[in-house]
Structure 1
Amino acid sequence: MHSITVHGVTDNQRLAPGDTAPEFTLPDAEGNDVSLADYRGRKVIVYFYPAASTPGCTKQACDFRDSLTELDGAGIEVVGISPDKPAKLAKFRDAEALTFPLLSDPERTVLTAWGAFGEKKMYGKTVTGVIRSTFLVDEEGKIALAQYNVRATGHVAKLRRDLSV
């Protein structure tokens, strides 16, 4: 079981700029633990997506992959988090030549702490699931940007415009 420290965040609460980003430690595609604290002193995009190897999530991940040079040049790293198990993440990473960490949160603990799991509208119905969300965490571990219910297609280009990258 991977631990999570949540500072004053309740279920379905949305994070906003200035909030302390909830800490996490989750396994990557190789089963190695990755923590938010590993990125302290650097900016990092933490994005949450519903499922590896699905069309929208693949488009979004490939857009991040294709933007890594520009993001890295701006001092920004990328981490993707989904409920998928590490083995599925490894297949996704290898199939799409992804070069940033994909983390596994099958219990949805981190997704929930970040407000990225809960009720959402899908095809006109209310369902419970992963809310496609993107955050920029600053060097001190504070939320600099919080975007919920983002679209898979075009999101990374818009994010780059928002960040002037």
Structure 2
Amino acid sequence: MLEKEPTSPISPLAPYPPLPPTESRSRAPEFYGFVAWTSTYLLFCAYLLWALLPDKYIVWLGVTWYPNREWAVLLPAYSVVLVLLTYHTYFALALSGTPALSDISTITDSRAHLPRTNAENPYVAHARPSAIPEMYDMPIGMVNRVVYGTHKQASSR
């Protein structure tokens, strides 16, 4: 009898153990990450020098024009306000998109499979012990009556 090589439990055609992946990975993300990291630190150092050095040292470095020093305080403050405003805006958008508690869409949606109502209650036909009921979504009012009873029964306890 010929012995076969073992196969994968998932696919009978896949080799087991799996073959190692071929090395075709690009190194571009490493370079982009290094450039982003380096430029962030350089910009932060330039910001600190601009914010903390006296004017005569900045002119001595050869910089003839630079923004007013009040922007050294205003830029971080505006950044914090912008972040907080962004959180507030997303929270407000989520809150405005939420339906009211009295809206029917908090209970059911357009995909609910409710029975067609004729003269008789469609749930009564499925109450026979030998019946195999059709699958429906149950209305929340019926579930509340079964689980919690009517208001009169609850108050008489």
TM-score, scaled to structure 1: 0.17
By relative contact order (CA 8 Å, sep 6+), the higher-ranking structure is 1
- Please tell me whether Structure 1 or Structure 2 has the larger radius of gyration of its CA atoms: 2
Going by fraction, where is helix more abundant, 1 or 2? 2
TM-score, normalisation: structure 2: 0.18
